[in-house]
């Protein structure tokens, strides 16, 4: 999973900065651009193909949210960027889906990068880069993948006018989008938590070689998660400190709430890491307990029968003069001797608590 | 335990901020609201059902403490919040019992979240969220659970007028409530300490597979404790720095004392972690010592009898011409040879310190 | 040891702040209060029973050092506190001998808490809380235990007038007391260092199950030491920064020296921790080396004799037609075959470097 | 690899500061000096032997980039240094190729040290020191090795005038060179990532002693990488903060981008470290699983046949009176007994889940 | 080694601050005091016995370097201190050779403590304390040991006037002395690096019990080195920040260079630590690989011969009626059966990849 991320990157080395290259999986589907223009009184929604249709309302009471799903057609992203006057490095970063979460202040607009997480069928975690451009009267969101429906509840709220969202500015919209992304982390972490619990049971009750593989796999995923989640603290913290004039004071309280959620996400990831760290040790001790049990059994069987077999061997020797062989009760005395030895050894093991 | 906490959370994703959803265990019992109005001269106590009965004394010398036990009826919490003009995000956080300990300044009031800890019957630790609203002439405490009697000594002190509590303001009451919560941590940590000591004995004297499970369980609980306890430093530190005008100077010295207690709690949790970290290693070495002892026994029995059995085997062969078999003392010479070999090996083991 | 510390604490939960409860071991001996009044010209010493005899010299050139040994009689501590106007929380902390080292500024006086360490007979480390009250013309020291003679050299210096101590103020006296305590740490750490060296030898030359127990015990003691020693940096650092006007500039250079010693103590504790951390691994590898040696021996004896015994078994079979049995040199050929197999195996082991 | 780096260094101890000693591998090839003078309108390129040909354009719109490949001829480096008035310590550091990445401000020029990384054939990583001197109208780059073609794309861009590079100043050129170096790290990290994945497979499916050696080798390389990569954060961060007036504001946004890349490189190195950390544990558990399987097989074969062989031994004894030997079906009864014992043991193992 | 350091210290506890006690090894040799007076034009060198001969040139253009080798005669150190007006605590610290590297500003002079490192014959590392007093026109260096020739190159440079040293002030001399000490660290670290490489080879190719002892020994030395080297960053950093007026601006660039070297030393020590940390694990896995190989051999030999021996045992029984014994080809059929069983088992092992 890691190597996959890195590979994507190296194809860019040697190119001048600002060169637009899409780093990520290719797709055949068409890019989908949705525009929602809203104000306190209403909301207009349209889906567009080319960006020439896209222009502003100079009236700042109208907020435009342009959502771009899919990044594989460079020209379209270029168009959007040119239309809004975005810096070439921003466009480059939007297309390079291997960014670290960050926030950058370009004066007229803020550029925010976050990671969306999704549980994969087979148990893994998939990330998808989301770039937000927060301007004074528009928000543009670029989503790497096409199947993200995390923003649907926000669209619904805009359509219905529920909550305060239509009365607030672009900063609140950006907050709402980030909140939707961070809230979704809990769904992913919940699945990780469940898998940890399953593994904890498996490790104690039924440790198998596959268990190690699973533990290792989950560890890798948590390392991966951590990389996506750690920078959140910094990003949201910077927004909350209102270093940009694009963030209004009324939104700060919401950002503080979001910051709390981010901290909680990080705490949970760290706790998962701690939990996984010790699990291999528990596995090894489970395995070594089993070995121990088997070894003990072998020892008992072995050490009881070895002397007995020796005695049998002695009386199987063919010396001419072996007085015991001619005693009447010799055979039974011999069997009795064997029994005595066996019982003695069993008592010895019992006393040593090996049995 | 962890997954349980996370699960609670994910049901909220997609909802607009400020939506009131109770995240926590449901209960059938009725929510209990207790109001205590006190001033230096006296104290009035009443239990109410609906909140319409709740209003202020404009006279600031009277302090009102409204204690709400149980959070499962959203309407009641909503009423309390509306009545005191609390921010929707505060109400949301009160209901969402999966908060991290924190303090938030809303100008007119401070919102403080803490975790109450309780030892469970079976050995585990249960947390319960306590939210405090500290206003200029009222304190509201929301307790998640219903069986918390940690605040009873404070109620008693208010009734009897013992100590300085009736002469002081809301900040002192909030301090007293936090102090009661933090003091209670020591009871929980004491039990953890005892369990660590029991495990330390068990690990050395009688290591069993269950021991690993217990160690792992305790480790998880300490990770859990740590999450609840670490943010305390920050929370109480922020209050002590008097960043809000609601904290008077006379209370700062008490908060400093509380801060010391919090640091001590954290230190103890960290020391517990350190102690537990090494315990699995001790377990493994105990187990491997046992294995060692058993292996040594097997080796000694095995290596002594294997050559003897071989000798017996040799003289059990049926070759026609085997001179030794016809010697008069052949049998006894053979037994003597065996004895010699056995004694030699025993000496060898002795010298090697394997015996 | 840890649980002992915690237990002491929990009995306080629920009591109002400022309630005086002695947390620590009880004692029957009478509390001993020694007062030394000194100035550049001389020194007066008296032992008192009740505190009514205790009053000040308004003349600030006379410094009074009141040393209280034993804390189990609450009334006496209460009297001392009342007489000097100490804050109830200070008295509470003096009696609660489970404090973390700290310094608190109460304006008129500084309250300093340190831990005195002592090697126990059996090898453990005992801590004893020392509280210092540093006023403008008096220093009060409260010692938990009764057998502390760490302060004796200072008393001697005061009596004899050696050094600068009689010419300096209360801040120098407080420094001298703290210096005596910190210097004493080196004695304790020296013993820890010796025990680590003994263990290092034992672990390599003669690893036994008891060794693990000893390592674990020492680890616990070092964790314990660390808790007592870490906060020193902060405490002495705060004094050195002269945050209180009670510390004169001439004493700062001495405090800096003390600070260096404290850092050195912390460094040594950390190095001890590092040393102990790896020791269990060395133990395990020693044990596994032994196992290895034993296993190799078993393998060699076993694998050499197993084929030989098989050969003997073959010629012990009772088939009617076994041509070899009737050969004249059959027996000796068989013995020779056995020898060849044994020698071959020995060579094989030699080549594999198992021998 | 590490010792190699250190060795180079110690030959300098005792020499006065500023003494020029080349620390690094010797080479026979001639040093190659390339000069590129460019401005918005064009670019002139020449290769020179001696530095007397090297002088400035006083016209600041012309930027000179002097690239020196190879450091083994001290005189040439000395000449370049004298010609540009570089501080002796700078020249010393350029020649000492064991520097840590750093940036130093000498007022008129900045001295920047970076490490270029290259994958070696055999799997290892080679570093090469690159020193940059950034003046107001010139940039000098000193490359340790001779086969570095990382700067070629930049040369190409200068020749063709593509991108903004010819319109920008020396700061942009220095940025472009650093960007080329950092971009190249991704190629190296990609290879490390692939090797980690290969190892992860090998560790689970086919753990061999060589695997440990490979893990250890890769760990060492990552430690090595880390040393080269960690200081980048500081270096680029310092440049981005524009502590020198040589950095213009337009370049800051590019440096911020570079800073992001550096952080990403560091994150990836840290994640690699985390991944490798657990791998040896997985290896050990794989090995112990195998041991377990083999041991179980041995136990089953052993414990089944040991009792059977004992029975055979008993009836091989030569006592005169052994009634069973004379029963008609004695032999078959004996074989049946053996079968019963074997089947019973197999059932026992089945129930214990050892089979 | 550690305990040795601590022991030295404890003899001081109880003594008043400023008491001069030499903590370190005693020596019979006479203390050697060398004075070098130099200015840009020349250098005068003399060796003195008593310090009465030591006085200043009021002319500040002359720099005096007084080098004291050996600290075991307290009177001489006392004389030097009195003559230059050093604080009693400084003299105490000079004699107490168990100091942590530090820098202290006494206004008129700086007191700098460093550790000189030397490889011992047997492989260990010896430290020696060097104290520097940097005044406005004199530098005094106190060396603990007598065989330090690290300063000889500086003496040579002073005599010959090579480099800038004679033209610069006392701050440059102090820098040169510190540089000589830090440069020498690379020699020591080089040896450590070589020993690590030797151990890495040994651990993989020929792991023996002694290897663990060596690893542990080297680990201890690196812990020890770390204690001596970590504070350097702080010490040189403080000097570089020019917190004292005794450091001139021209020397800052040299101190920055020295700071880089110190960071590099620390980095190398940390990398050594990282390398050693994993080595015991590699050792354990090497050992466990060997065990594995031996166990496999035992299993194969054992499991092949155990069934064969059983068959031989069966036909060695003395039942009267055993039809097989009387078959003509019975013996050969039996041998063939044994061969079949052996071959089958060998195939089985082959398929299981145990062979």
For residue C18, count other CB atoms closer than 10 A to its CB: 15
3-state SS assignment for residue D52? helix
pLDDT at B2 over 70: no
Contact D10 E281 (CB under 8 A): no
Position B51 scores a pLDDT of 61
Query: Could you tell me which of B104, B102, B134, B133 has the C-alpha nearest to residue B243?
Result: B104
Chains linked to B by 3 or more Cβ pairs within 8 Å: A, C
Q: C228 to chain B: nearest residue by CA?
A: B267
Query: What six digits make up the tokens of E147?
Result: 């065989």
Q: Which of C156-160, C174-178, C347-351, E96-100 has the highest mean pLDDT?
A: C174-178
Alpha carbon of B285: minimum distance to chain C alpha carbons (Å): 7
Chains that touch C (3 or more CB pairs under 8 A): B, E
Q: Which pLDDT value is given to residue A236?
A: 92
Residues of C within 8 A of B158 (CB-CB) are none
What is the phi/psi pair of residue A286, to 5°?
-65, -50
Within chain A, what is the greatest distance between any pair of CA atoms?
123
Nearest residue on chain A to B321, alpha-carbon basis: A318
Average pLDDT (C126-138) is 89
The reported pLDDT for the residue numbered D16 is 77
Which residue among C219, C287, C324 sits closest to B292, beta carbon to beta carbon? C287
* Residue with tokens 């010692």, as numbered in its chain: C143
Mind telling me how many Å the CA of C153 is from chain E's nearest CA?
Answer: 6
> Across the interface, which of E152, E278, E310 has its CB nearest the CB of D219?
E278
Residue C26, pLDDT > 50, answer yes
Note whether D100 contacts E260, CB cutoff 8 Å: yes
Residues of chain C positioned with their CB less than 8 A from the CB of B354: 294
Arithmetic mean of pLDDT, A54-65: 70
Q: Inform me whether the pLDDT recorded for B260 exceeds 50.
A: yes
Instruction: Among B154, B156, B173, B186, pick the best mutation site for testing chain C contact (most C Cβ within 10 A).
Output: B186
pLDDT tens digits for C54-111?
A: 555 556 678 889 888 888 888 888 888 888 788 888 888 888 888 889 998 888 899 9
Residues with Cβ within 8 Å of E229's Cβ and at least 6 positions away in sequence, in order, are E115, E185, E262, E265, E266, E269
* Rounded distance between C-alpha atoms, residue E306 and residue B309, angstroms: 14
Chains with 3 or more CB pairs under 8 A to chain A: B, D
Length of chain E: 355
pLDDT in tens, A266-309: 988 988 888 888 788 788 777 777 777 777 777 778 888 888 88
> For the packed helices C88-95 and B249-314, what is the interaxial angle rounded to 10 degrees?
20
Which of A99, B252, E322, B266 has the alpha carbon at shortest distance from D334?
A: E322
pLDDT at A55: 57
Question: CA of D139: how far to CAs of A16, A291, D66, D112, in Å?
Answer: 18, 67, 6, 11
Is C307 in Cβ contact with E301 (below 8 Å)?
Answer: yes
Residue with tokens 């009670």: C246
Test C317 with E306 for CB contact under 8 angstroms. no
User: What distance in Å separates the CA atoms of residue E34 and residue E54, rounded to the nearest whole number?
Assistant: 10
> Is the CB of E212 less than 8 angstroms away from the CB of C204?
yes
CB pair distance less than 8 Å for A153 and B14 = yes
Q: What is the mean pLDDT of residues E116-128?
A: 81
Q: What is the mean pLDDT of chain C?
A: 83
With CA atoms as reference, the chain E residue closest to C163 would be E16
Which residues neighbour A14 within 8 Å (Cβ) at sequence distance 6 or greater?
Answer: D150, D152, D153, D180, D183
Average the pLDDT over C311-324 and give the result: 84
SS3 call for A243: coil
Smallest CA–CA distance, residue C353 to chain E, in Å, is 10
| Of A222-236, C41-55, D100-114, minimum mean pLDDT range | C41-55
Predicted local distance difference test score (pLDDT) of residue E51:
61
Min Cα separation E342/chain C (Å)? 12
Q: Residue D320's CB: how many other CB atoms inside 10 A?
A: 11
Looking at residue E29, what is its pLDDT?
73
Task: Output the pLDDT for position A4.
Answer: 45
- pTM surpassing 0.95? no
Once rounded to an integer, what is the mean pLDDT over residues B270-294? 80
Of E183, E260, E268, the CB nearest to D102: E260
Which of E301, E310, E320 to probe by mutation at the D interface, max D CB count within 10 Å? E310
Q: Tokens 């300044």: give the residue.
A: B105
Contact call for residues B340 and C339 (beta carbons, < 8 A): no
Chain C: give the shortest CA distance to residue E56, in Å.
27
Scored b (16 or more CB within 10 A) or e, A183-201 reads bbbbbbbbbbbebbeebbe
Question: What does the pLDDT average to over B161-171?
Answer: 86
> Per-residue pLDDT tens for A331-346?
888 889 989 999 998 8
Which superfamily, per CATH, for C293-352? Magnesium transport protein CorA, transmembrane region (1.20.58.340)
Tell me what the pLDDT averaged over chain B comes to: 83
Tokens 């998880």, located at residue: B220
Nearest chain B residue to C14 by CA: give it: B153
- The 3-class SS string of chain E reads CHHHHHHHHHCCCCCCCCCCCCECCCCCCCCEEEEEEEECCEEEEEEECCHHHCCCCCCCCCEEEEEEECCCCHHHHHHHHHHHCCCHHHHHHHHECCCCCEEEECCCCEEEEEEEEEECCCCCEEEEEEEEEECCCEEEEEECCCCCCCCHHHHHHHHHCCCCHHHCCHHHHHHHHHHHHHHHHHHHHHHHHHHHHHHHHHHHHCCCHHHHHHHHHHHHHHHHHHHHHCHHHHHHHHHHCCCCCCCCHHHHHHHHHHHHHHHHHHHHHHHHHHHHHHHHHHHHHHHHHHHHHHHHHHHHHHHHHHHHHHHHHHCCCCCCCCHHHHCCCHHHHHHHHHHHHHHHHHHHHHHCCCC
CA-nearest residue to B297 within chain C is C294
pLDDT classification of A50: cutoffs 50, 70, 90: low
Per-domain residue ranges for chain A?
29-285, 293-352
- Residues in chain E with CB shorter than 8 Å from the CB of D209 are 204, 286, 289
Superfamily of domain B29-285: CorA soluble domain-like (3.30.460.20)
Select from D285, D303, D319 the Cβ nearest to the Cβ of A331. D319
The predicted structure's pLDDT at residue A3? 39
Q: pLDDT confidence of D147, banded at 50, 70, 90?
A: low
ipTM of the complex: 0.73
**What is residue C113's predicted lDDT score, i.e. its pLDDT?**
93
**Residue B6 — very low, low, confident or very high, per pLDDT cuts 50/70/90?**
very low
Contacts of A306 in chain D (CB under 8 A): 306
Test mutation, D222, D310, D342, chain A, max A CBs within 10 A? D310
Region B81-110 average pLDDT: 86
Q: How near does any CA of chain D get to the CA of A25, in Å?
A: 17
- How far away is chain C from the Cα of B72, in angstroms, using its nearest Cα? 27
A274 to chain B: nearest residue by CA?
A: B223
Work out the mean pLDDT of chain D and round it to a whole number: 83
Distance separating alpha carbons of residues D131 and D109, to the nearest angstrom: 13
For A13, which of D184, D253, D296 is closest by C-beta distance?
D184
In the predicted model, is pLDDT for residue E336 greater than 50?
yes
């Amino acid at each position: 999973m890691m190597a996959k991320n890195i590979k994507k990157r190296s194809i860019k080395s040697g190119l001048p900065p600002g060169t637009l290259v899409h780093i990520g999986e290719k797709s055949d589907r068409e890019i989908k651009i949705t525009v929602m223009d809203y104000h306190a009184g209403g909301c207009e929604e349209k889906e567009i193909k080319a960006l020439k249709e896209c222009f502003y309302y100079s009236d700042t009471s109208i907020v435009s949210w342009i959502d771009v799903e899919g990044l594989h057609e460079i020209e379209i992203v270029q168009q959007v960027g040119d239309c809004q006057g975005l810096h070439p490095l921003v466009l480059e970063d939007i297309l390079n889906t291997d960014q670290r979460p960050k926030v950058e202040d370009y004066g007229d607009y803020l550029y925010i990068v976050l990671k969306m997480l999704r549980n994969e069928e087979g148990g893994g975690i998939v990330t998808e880069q989301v770039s937000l451009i927060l301007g004074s009267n528009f928000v543009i969101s670029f989503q790497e993948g096409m199947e993200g429906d995390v923003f649907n509840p926000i669209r619904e709220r805009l359509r219905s006018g529920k909550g305060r969202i239509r009365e607030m500015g672009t900063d609140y919209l950006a907050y709402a989008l980030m909140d939707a992304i961070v809230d979704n982390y809990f769904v992913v972490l919940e699945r990780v938590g469940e898998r940890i619990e399953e593994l904890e049971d498996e490790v104690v009750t039924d440790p198998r070689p596959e268990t190690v593989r699973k533990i290792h796999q989950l560890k890798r995923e948590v390392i991966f998660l951590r990389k996506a989640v750690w920078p959140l603290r910094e990003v949201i913290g910077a927004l909350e400190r209102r270093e940009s004039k694009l963030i209004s004071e009324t939104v700060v309280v919401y950002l503080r709430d979001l910051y709390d959620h981010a901290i909680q996400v990080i705490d949970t990831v760290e706790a998962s890491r701690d939990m996984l760290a010790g699990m291999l040790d528990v596995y090894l001790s489970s395995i070594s307990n089993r070995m121990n049990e088997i070894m003990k059994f072998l020892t008992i069987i072995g050490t009881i029968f070895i002397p007995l077999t020796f005695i049998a061997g002695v009386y199987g020797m063919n010396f001419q003069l072996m007085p015991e062989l001619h005693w009447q009760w010799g055979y039974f005395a011999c069997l009795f001797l064997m029994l005595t030895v066996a019982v003695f050894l069993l008592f010895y093991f019992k006393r040593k608590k090996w049995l």
